[in-house]
Amino acid sequence: MKLLSPAAASVVATLFVLTGCGGGGGQSTTQPTPNPTPVDPVPTPVLDHSGLTPLTADVLDANEYYSGGEATVKVANEDAFSRRPVAISDDFQLDGFFTSGDHLFRTPHRDIGPLLSTGNCQGCHLNDGKGKVPASVDTPMTSMFMKIGKAEGGPDPVYGGQLQTFAVQSFTTSDASSGLPSYNGSTNGNELFGEAYAFVEYQTINGTYPDGQTYQLRNPVYKIKDLSFGPFGPTVRLSPRVAPAIFGSGLLEAIPSSNIEQLADENDSNNDGISGRVSLTTDVLTGEQKTGRFSYKAQNPSVLQQISAAYRGDIGLTNKLFPQEACTDQQAACQLVADQETQSGDEVDFSDRELALVEFYNRVLAVPARRGYDEANDSWDDIIIKGRKLFFDVGCVNCHVPRHKTAVANGSVLGEITLTGLEPNAEPIATLSNQLIFPYTDLLLHDMGGSCEITRETAIGDSCSEGAQCLYVQKCEGLADGLSEGVATGTEWKTPALWGVGLVQTVNPQASFLHDGRAQTLEEAILWHGGEAQTSNNAFQHLTGEQRQQLLSFVGSL
């Protein structure tokens, strides 16, 4: 008799046990199929909105030093925002186009006005950086202006969407004051003055950190006098804006819209208190809805549209995108002067080639490199490392998203710039394409909280309803401006990019921070954050004094 092997005997025994227990299903002697050993699935890698491994609070990437990728320059002086990338300076033709665009950006033009804020782009964007708040109430705004509109949305019926402090004669005669606003001075339709005079006064807010350290904030009160075309509409709203720095704009434009959309969380589905949303706005050339990413409320989808709007709105130069003068239907004196310009009717003041040159200049302005990094030793300053971790820990990165990747930066829709004109099918801009960049923004709209009210008051604060001495006065709580613009409400703002923020006052010592320049320091800017950012503000305040300085040092290194 042949003996069963130990393995076979084991199988037979198992069969008897299963049959006896009913496990074999009645009288069946079929061997059951064993359950397969479970295999752990390969985990799907976690990737960020750019398809990259997410950044962490503890590990710095050496790439962070090159904030603008290949469009980074190692400059940290007053020219930090005005430089061209190496790839542009090394190309004779592109360098020439950059220089031509720079010249147009800085040069006064003909046919400016009839109403305007300044005579050239550089008059607002000082050294290609931020503008400034006037030093006194007697100094008119030039690199700062006042957006206006109706509470229900849309432009003011008399003054349009932006107050212009000057009429053209302030820039074409030797008497700069001749074009300043004059109460009811333009209502007869024959004499043109600037629209109205806006100024700011400040109230002091005293505060104390939980550790006992004190601070002060400037709360602005905006006032408007000398309305040349009569009163505003009955539901007017005001929004003061300081001209922003413009470098790096071509890189921001090259971030894919789909990547920005991935960052949006309009209904706060993850319950982190942050509900950023995309600003959908109209491309004025195509009529298509596109992702807004320029201006303080993300109202423009492209660099071209941003600069075209500024040329018409700030300087009074009509162009392909905005061919109509900025005069409203109720400003006969403005229309009269516009009819006397060299270019009139269907002719625009600023040619397509000039516009394309300025667009190119704006798009390729380089980003300054970070400070606090030692290239030779591949190491960061300790205070920067600690401050960066705190920036992550208190939640600043929830809106100020550090890193993005650009796609192909398409050439201008106006055409390829040549020595004499424009040719169709412009080539992409290589130095802006497929770049790893660190702008510290999500380009989304966020509710920053607050509220505003507008009253009519005399200079000493008495209530009034009309007359030359009756001012419009706007007082706000928090960062709200009360002005709806596109899809943005009166409490929403686009997250500004933080790259270069530590050099703002190096480039322009008179510059300050936030949309209206109320914050004189980066610390004050943080302390003004409310709404969705209130939790991060609270966390910042509860840091120790040393930790707050570490975080501020990190922000200053950007």
Q: Is the pLDDT of residue 36 over 70?
A: no
- The pLDDT of 147-152, averaged and rounded, is 93
215 vs 13, residue with greater confidence: 215
11 vs 130, residue with greater confidence: 130
* pLDDT bracket for residue 307 (50, 70, 90): very high
Phi, psi values for residue 415, rounded to 5°:
130, 175
Cβ burial of 385 (10 Å; 0-12, 13-18, 19+) is middle
Phi, psi values for residue 110, rounded to 5°:
-85, 165
pLDDT of residue 447: 98
pLDDT of residue 2: 37
d(C-alpha 472, C-alpha 222), whole Å: 8
What SS3 class is residue 106?
helix
* pLDDT bracket for residue 437 (50, 70, 90): very high
d(C-alpha 130, C-alpha 80), whole Å: 12
Q: Is the pLDDT of residue 18 over 80?
A: no
Nearest 5°: CA angle at 402, between 53 and 361?
Answer: 120
pLDDT of residue 343: 76
pLDDT of residue 23: 37
At a CB cut-off of 8 Å and minimum separation 6, what does 535 contact?
273, 395
Cβ burial of 534 (10 Å; 0-12, 13-18, 19+) is middle
Evaluate the omega torsion of the peptide bond into residue 114 and state whether it is cis, within 30 degrees of 0: yes
Find out whether 73 and 62 touch, Cβ atoms under 8 Å: no
pLDDT of residue 43: 64
pLDDT of residue 541: 98
- Taking CA atoms, 97 is separated from 100, 101, 290, in Å, by 5, 6, 28
Q: Is the pLDDT of residue 28 over 70?
A: no
- The pLDDT of 383-391, averaged and rounded, is 98
d(C-alpha 468, C-alpha 557), whole Å: 48
d(C-alpha 345, C-alpha 333), whole Å: 17
Q: Is the pLDDT of residue 212 over 60?
A: yes
d(C-alpha 3, C-alpha 26), whole Å: 28
Phi, psi values for residue 166, rounded to 5°:
-120, 150
Nearest to 240 by CA among 270, 220, 213, 214: 220
- The pLDDT of 89-115, averaged and rounded, is 96
Q: Is the pLDDT of residue 358 over 60?
A: yes
Find out whether 284 and 451 touch, Cβ atoms under 8 Å: no
Nearest to 231 by CA among 315, 326, 158: 158
Residue 313 DSSP code: I
* pLDDT bracket for residue 25 (50, 70, 90): very low
d(C-alpha 165, C-alpha 174), whole Å: 17
Amino acid identity, position 171 = F
pLDDT single digits (tens) 165-197: 999 999 999 999 999 999 999 999 999 999 999
Q: At what angle do helices 382-393 and 545-556 cross, to 10 degrees?
A: 100
Q: At what angle do helices 303-310 and 352-364 cross, to 10 degrees?
A: 120
pLDDT of residue 248: 98
pLDDT of residue 335: 96
Q: Is the pLDDT of residue 342 over 90?
A: no
d(C-alpha 32, C-alpha 34), whole Å: 6
Residue 366 DSSP code: P
pLDDT of residue 31: 52
Q: What are the structure tokens assigned to 257, written together?
A: 């819209």
- The pLDDT of 428-441, averaged and rounded, is 98
β-strands 214-225, 471-477: how paired? antiparallel
Find out whether 45 and 326 touch, Cβ atoms under 8 Å: no
End-to-end CA distance of the chain: 88
Q: Is the pLDDT of residue 29 over 60?
A: no
Q: Which residue in this structure is represented by tokens 């192909």? A: 408
Q: Is the dihedral of CA 93, 97, 102, 108 positive or negative?
A: positive
SS3 content of the chain, % helix, strand, coil (to 5): 30, 15, 55
pLDDT of residue 334: 97
- The pLDDT of 336-341, averaged and rounded, is 93
Q: What percent of the chain has pLDDT over 70?
A: 92
What SS3 class is residue 65?
helix
Nearest to 510 by CA among 244, 126, 220: 126
Q: At what angle do helices 92-106 and 352-364 cross, to 10 degrees?
A: 100
293 vs 18, residue with greater confidence: 293
At a CB cut-off of 8 Å and minimum separation 6, what does 190 contact?
333, 336
What SS3 class is residue 505?
helix
pLDDT single digits (tens) 106-130: 998 889 999 999 999 999 999 999 9
pLDDT single digits (tens) 449-507: 999 999 999 999 999 999 999 999 999 999 999 999 999 999 999 999 999 999 999 99
Q: What are the structure tokens assigned to 333, written together?
A: 């004196």
